[in-house]
Structure 1
Amino acid sequence: MTFDRRITPVRADLADEKLRGQVEAERFSAGTLRRVLTAATPLHRHPSPDAPVDTQAIWGEAVTVYDEHEGWAWVQLHDDGYVGYLRSEALGAPGAEPTHRVSALRTFVYPGPNLKLPHSGWLTLNSKVAVTGIEGDYAQLATGGFAYAPHLSALGTWESDYVAIAERFLHTPYLWGGKTSLGLDCSGLAQTALNAVGIAAPRDSDMQEERLGTPVPVTPGLDGLRRGDLVFWKGHVGLMADATRLIHATGYTMQVLVEPLAVAEERIRLTSYGPISSIKRLPSLGG
């Protein structure tokens, strides 16, 4: 059988116990549950700081750790199933089950419920936290520190417009593998925006193209599109801001920008990924 290495926890020497009988490996393990306890940490393809970065894990994400060696943990992220290597120091015990997610683009953590205190950390959109109490305008976190309570939403409480979420990231720098307010790539922008409205989106654009939405005809004039439609190339994705404009994270300008789809289509077709491969519509905005 052929497995996608990005989302299949299997190596020659080790594989997930759930894959026993399906793959060959020297040994199998059910792994141990851990949680990401840093604002963001890169997930590498190999256990080396110089290895390619496939994505990031953000605060509060649950991971299954299958192996640890010389400061590196081989893990699978629970939210999107991605497999790779994180620095062990970025992980901690599962701790209290998260109760809230960060609903602001970014928020700070303070040692006390006071905005004048020096901040001790930061959290990006969709980070998960466990709130143990409220003091004034601040939520006390089980991991220590306080976050501004209006920047948090109870788990299960979602935004309604994923394009509006994407628009919050305008001018955010492009970062390959990134999915935070400090930097993100095209599929990271789409995944982050969709997750904020409760849509569990895969990480990479090819996975998103395969699994999300229903097809919309790609006409020569790029007609009939709606706000929220996902536009795919073989290696790129953007979201329609309206019937004619695309919002996407692009290496062309190294930032998130909005531009006419016709302009983006011509440039991308001629210089990088070829023609549009598909357009997908999601029911939450597309009807």
Structure 2
Amino acid sequence: MSARDPRLTPARTDLAAESLRGQVSAPRYAAPRRMVVRAYAASLRRAPRRDAPLDTEALHGEAVDVYDMDDEGWAWGQLLADGYVGYLPADDLVDAGPAPTHRVIAPRTFIYPTPDIKAPPLGALPLAASVTAGADATAKAAAAGAAAARFTRLAQGNGQEGGYVYAAHLAPAAAAGGDHAAVAERLVGAPYLWGGRTSLGLDCSALVQLSLMAVGRACPRDSDMQAAGVGEALPVDALDQLTRGDLVFWRGHVGMMLDPRTLIHANGHHMQVAVEPLAGAMARIAAAGGGPATALRAVR
């Protein structure tokens, strides 16, 4: 039996997902409890401790299959968006309700108590968060006048408390297409955070994942997974074939091309999302011991 990637396998020494019965040995198995993230972003950690490494973040409205809830307030489960497994604060989750109708396409957008930009916001949703619009959102907005029609009313439940979001910051959940490199550009200056997945802090592979998710394209979480399956492989020495939106990989790192010579990436050198010439980034990474580029992927 081939080894399973622990990042994507809901199995630990004492428990495994029921779907793995007969494939993974465990003292007991559990069926999933479908839940969703009600926090604006929930930390997914490698162990059920606040000081455990941050592996990734689950965004508002994302679905989670939960297999265990302990007495210390931790839920152990698997994110449906990218398959990542880990521990999340149980208070950040609620049982799933209606499927989301929209996703956030702005780096961050506010939720207002009324359809008025002067109202004190209730909170802020991150890029790629999922929300459910009220069934009568369009009719109510039209009835409220032209200014209110700029907003989408959110339904209550599924972790939402209602409120209004600027409609241009949302796209239908099923919509696909668009310039994923333009999404990445809107995150220039966002701070670098290992395991982060929002404009308040994100890492290199999260920048790629969020940019693709914002235009309706599925994408795995980590750079090695992306190098193995996103887009189409190019010869590793075919730098002259790179164009906007393509990906360049190093050992443990990924960046996206804005044009044939310019790279955007979240990185620990600048400690933020930065734009720089590809040639300069390659030289600096090699000088720091990161080696040459290991893979190129065309994503068009």
Give the TM-score taking structure 1 as reference length: 0.95
Partner of 1:3: 4
Partner of 1:113: 115
1:26 aligns with 2:27: yes
For structure 1, which segment, 207-216 or 60-69, has the greater mean C-alpha deviation from structure 2 after superposition? 207-216
1:212 aligns with 2:225: no
Instruction: Please state how far the C-alpha of 1:163 moved relative to its aligned partner.
Output: 0.7
Instruction: Please state how far the C-alpha of 1:273 moved relative to its aligned partner.
Output: 2.1
Picking from 245, 251, 254, the partner of 2:268 is 251
| Local SS of the residue matching 1:210 | helix
Partner of 1:233: 250
Picking from 170, 181, 191, the partner of 1:152 is 170
1:31-180 equivalence runs, <5 A = 31-69=32-70, 70-132=72-134, 133-134=137-138, 135=141, 136=148, 137-142=150-155, 143=160, 144-180=162-198
Flag as ranges the 4+ runs of structure 1 deviating above 3 A.
none
Identify unmatched segments of 5+ residues in structure 1. Answer: none
Instruction: Please state how far the C-alpha of 1:218 moved relative to its aligned partner.
Output: 3.1
Deviation sequence 1:81-101 (CA, Å, 0-9, x none):
000000011101212221111
Partner of 1:269: 286
Letter of the 2:266 counterpart? A
Deviation sequence 1:105-137 (CA, Å, 0-9, x none):
210011222222211111011111110014222
For structure 1, which segment, 91-100 or 259-268, has the greater mean C-alpha deviation from structure 2 after superposition? 91-100
Instruction: Please state how far the C-alpha of 1:198 moved relative to its aligned partner.
Output: 1.9
Structure 2 distance, partners of 1:275, 1:130, is: 44
For structure 1, which segment, 135-144 or 172-181, has the greater mean C-alpha deviation from structure 2 after superposition? 135-144
For structure 1, which segment, 81-90 or 154-163, has the greater mean C-alpha deviation from structure 2 after superposition? 154-163
Structure 2 distance, partners of 1:148, 1:214, is: 36
CA RMSD of aligned residues (A): 1.3
Identify unmatched segments of 5+ residues in structure 2. Answer: 142-147
Structure 2 distance, partners of 1:261, 1:158, is: 28
Contact 2:103 2:214 in 1 (8 A): no
Structure 2 distance, partners of 1:214, 1:16, is: 32
Structure 1 distance, partners of 2:41, 2:275, is: 26
Letter of the 1:225 counterpart? L
Instruction: Please state how far the C-alpha of 1:219 moved relative to its aligned partner.
Output: 3.1
| Local SS of the residue matching 1:200 | coil
| Local SS of the residue matching 2:241 | coil
| Local SS of the residue matching 1:49 | coil
Contact 2:18 2:29 in 1 (8 A): yes
**Residues matched between the structures, number:** 282
Structure 2 distance, partners of 1:273, 1:176, is: 17
For structure 1, which segment, 266-275 or 69-78, has the greater mean C-alpha deviation from structure 2 after superposition? 266-275
Letter of the 1:139 counterpart? T
- Identity across the alignment (%): 52
Instruction: Please state how far the C-alpha of 1:159 moved relative to its aligned partner.
Output: 4.2
Structure 1 distance, partners of 2:241, 2:79, is: 37
Picking from 255, 280, 287, the partner of 2:297 is 280
Instruction: Please state how far the C-alpha of 1:277 moved relative to its aligned partner.
Output: 0.4
Instruction: Please state how far the C-alpha of 1:158 moved relative to its aligned partner.
Output: 2.9
Contact 2:77 2:86 in 1 (8 A): yes
Structure 2 distance, partners of 1:17, 1:219, is: 44
Instruction: Please state how far the C-alpha of 1:148 moved relative to its aligned partner.
Output: 1.4
Instruction: Please state how far the C-alpha of 1:217 moved relative to its aligned partner.
Output: 2.4
